Every structure is written in C-alpha cells, then in structure tokens.
Amino acid sequence: MPAPIFTAQIYYKTRSGADLLDPQSSGYFNRDGIKVFDVFINSSGVEMNTPSSFNTYGSSACAGYVCEPYNKGLYSIQFVVRPQNELRKELIQLNSSITDTLVYQIISATPQVGYAVNKIFYKDQLVWSRGMPAPAAITIVK
C-alpha cells in the first residue's frame, strides 16, 4: 500500500526577517542550487539518499523546490514526504556548503494508512507534530 502524501513547507529568513529564498533579498539562496533528499536506511542497514519529490499538489507557483509566496508572504521550499518505516530524515542542501537536516519520527498508523509522520525535529528541537496544521510549515532562521 502506498504511503499517504505529506507535504512540508520550509521557510528561511534572517534574524531581521528578510526572506532568504526571495531573489530580491540580499544573500538569498539561489533556487538553482537547492536540492532536497530523502534519507532511508535500506534492508541491509545502509543509508541511502534519493532526491525528494517536488510538491506539485499545491496551488503555488513552484520552480523546482522553491515556491512563490502565498501563505506567509515568504518564498518556501516545498517537497513531498512519503512516510515509510525506513525514512529517517530529509537533507535540504541550500548550496554546496550549507545543508540542513530534518529528522522524522515515523509511526505505524492504521492498516489503511500504513506509516505516518509523527514528529519532525530540526537541530534536536521539535518543529512539527501530528495534531498541528498540515502541511508542516517550518521557519528556519539563519
């Protein structure tokens, strides 16, 4: 049974509130350099990285992983998470020298659903959990 589709929206801003994904902002992250990877532990115990899927389900205009503002007035990185028991984390590569990691807690849900994302952590801090609005909207300050 395929896992349900779960989307994540990641916002990046400076301490002063500047949008780091907006091409008009000084020091923004160029969308052409942004990559997102699912990290799985395969049946042999080996960590495997595969490109995450773009979020094509929303109504926002997206180019690759970066989507135009529509909700919070900020550009966002959006991707699809397909919860599986083997999925452990998401790597968000902003450029060749900056990579952020989101760590998932995956739970076994109902037989109809299979697995589900229960919690998401960034730098060991809980940033989203079941019961909070979906999609997961996470703001990271750089």
Q: Is the dihedral of CA 2, 100, 126, 61 positive or negative?
A: negative
What pLDDT is recorded for position 43?
79
104 vs 107: which has the higher pLDDT: 104
pTM comes to 0.81
- Could you tell me how many helices (H) and strands (E) the chain has, helices first? 0, 12
Which among 5-14, 43-52, 119-128 has the top mean pLDDT?
Answer: 119-128
pLDDT in tens, 37-87: 988 887 788 888 888 877 655 555 777 788 887 656 788 888 877 666 666
What pLDDT is recorded for position 56?
56
